[in-house]
Structure 1
Amino acid sequence: MKRAWILPMLLVLCGSVVATELVFQGRPYAAAALLLVFVLLAGTNSRLIFPKSVSALKAQRRSAGDGRPIVFWRPGCTYCLRLRIRLGRSAHQLHWVDIWRDPAGAAAVRAVNDGNETVPTVFVADQPHVNPSPEWVREQLSRSA
């Protein structure tokens, strides 16, 4: 679970160091702008912008009941971030499983990806789809409604 925060914390730390140096050089506005960029990068690489993750077992139960897709993801994954951002508000209708927090979720992803933890892996009606397009996921979500 702690490794999910390593990249965001490194980004904030690096941004702070560089911003401090800019302040000492007499460029406080540049320091503030740079620090803001690093904080935004840290936020997008954290789990904060993703809907609340559930366990793989809970997601499977919920998906069986409502037919909505399950998205297996991990923090720091640019493809997961792309999917999340492009889905917009409809992302909250999906069941999200963070494979770094849920060993069963990681095992499910490895089982369908030749032992690799390739994410995002989206399960629709128990069929895995690796790194699908956001439009395809949105279409699957509208079919389940």
Structure 2
Amino acid sequence: MNGPERRGTRRVWAGPALLLVAGAGAATGQVVQGRPGAAAVLLAAFALLAALISPLVFPRSIGALEARRRSAVDGRPVVFWRPGCTYCLRMRVRLGRGARRLYWVDIWRDGDGAALVRAANDGNETVPTVLVAGRPYTNPDPAWVREQLSSSG
């Protein structure tokens, strides 16, 4: 793993790791005060939040160039996303099982993907940005994305 990929990996996991550390600290405070039940609930809540903002709830990311190549072959949309993005999480959840049929590009791990998103959004890394038939759409409705997936065959 080269330097930029390593930095991207650290960046992706920094938020979830901080949530787990904060949760452990808060839970420790509850244990010290004699409330182990509250500590367990608090730790579970922080762990759930950490999982939700981590890459774990998203399908495996691929590079932007590979995603665009595959999309050109089979017509499936490409979703550019980043961990911690509530709009990306909303899209992922609302797409349900169909999300696994899309091509997902984590812009924090893929410089080409980040550049494409910036080019489509006036220099901003606004996600989710969905590429359909080579055309970018910024933060589209998940129902619309589902329709595009259905029409791609």
**TM-score class, shorter:** over 0.9
Give percent identity, aligned residues only.
65
In structure 2, how many angstroms separate the alpha carbons of the residues matched to 1:58 and 1:128?
Answer: 16
User: What is the distance in 2 between the residues matched to 1:111 and 1:129?
Assistant: 12
> Which residue of structure 1 lines up, in the alignment, with residue 118 of structure 2?
110
Structure-1 separation of matches of 2:134 and 2:29: 52
Q: Distance in 1 between matches of 2:11 and 2:44?
A: 23
What is the letter of the counterpart of residue 41 of structure 2? A
Given the alignment, which residue of 121, 134, 149 partners 1:126? 134
Give the aligned partner of residue 15 of structure 2: 7
Structural RMSD (CA) = 0.5
The equivalent position to 2:34 in structure 1, one of 26, 32, 45, is 26
One-letter identity of the residue aligned with 1:76: G
Whether 1:63 and 2:71 are equivalent positions in the alignment is yes
Counterparts of 2:34 and 2:20 in 1: how far apart (Å)? 21
Query: Per-residue CA shift, 1:96-140, capped at 9, x if unaligned?
Result: 000000000000000010000000000000111000111010010
Structure 1 unaligned blocks of 5 or more: none
1:6 to partner: Cα distance: 1.0
Q: Which residue of 2 aligns with 1:54?
A: 62
CA deviation vs aligned residue, 1:79-100 (integer Å, no higher than 9, x gap): 0000001111000000000000
1:87 alignment partner in structure 2: 95
Give the residue type in structure 2 aligned to 1:60. Answer: R
For 1:37 and 1:134, how far apart are their aligned partners in 2?
27
Runs of 4+ in 1 over 4 A off after TM superposition: none
Give the Cα separation in 1 of the matches to 2:15 and 2:121: 25
